[in-house]
């Protein structure tokens, strides 16, 4: 299954699209990210999480491994890349192809 095949509840789609000031493109990206998040929550375990918040930024590293123990696929990695946790997002796959890594940095200084 691809993350794009995930079906969101109509209420969720309506809620996302209600943020009209962000624009239609933002809404479609947010819907895509919601599907990706649901895909990751369904088929992956978060195997590592480190986050920290400072007065002017937050940063974190999340690692995901498939629940079925299979190697990471291109579709899996595509779903991870839809996650947007800040201004800087870096995505990678471990050398053994068993873990996906998401690093982010978010400037919240205003």
Spell out, as residue ranges, where the chain has pLDDT lower than 70. Answer: 108-110
Q: How many CA atoms lie within 13 A of 61 on its CB side?
A: 8
Q: Residue 91: in which H helix or E strand, if any? A: strand 88-93
Question: What spatial distance separates the first Cα and last Cα of the chain, rounded to whole Å?
Answer: 39
User: What are the extents of the domains in the chain?
Assistant: 3-107
pLDDT in tens, 4-15: 999 999 999 999
Q: CA-CA distance, 63 to 102, in Å (whole number)? A: 6
């Amino acid at each position: 299954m691809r993350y794009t095949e995930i079906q969101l509840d109509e209420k969720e789609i309506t809620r996302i699209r209600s943020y009209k000031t962000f624009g239609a493109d933002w809404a479609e990206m947010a819907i895509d990210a919601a599907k990706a998040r649901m895909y990751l929550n369904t088929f992956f375990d978060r195997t590592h999480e480190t986050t920290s918040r400072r007065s002017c930024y937050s940063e974190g590293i999340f690692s995901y491994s498939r629940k079925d123990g299979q190697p990471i696929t291109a579709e899996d990695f595509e779903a991870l890349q839809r996650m947007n946790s800040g201004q800087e997002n870096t995505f990678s796959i471990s050398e053994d192809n068993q873990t996906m890594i998401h690093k982010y940095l978010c400037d919240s200084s205003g």
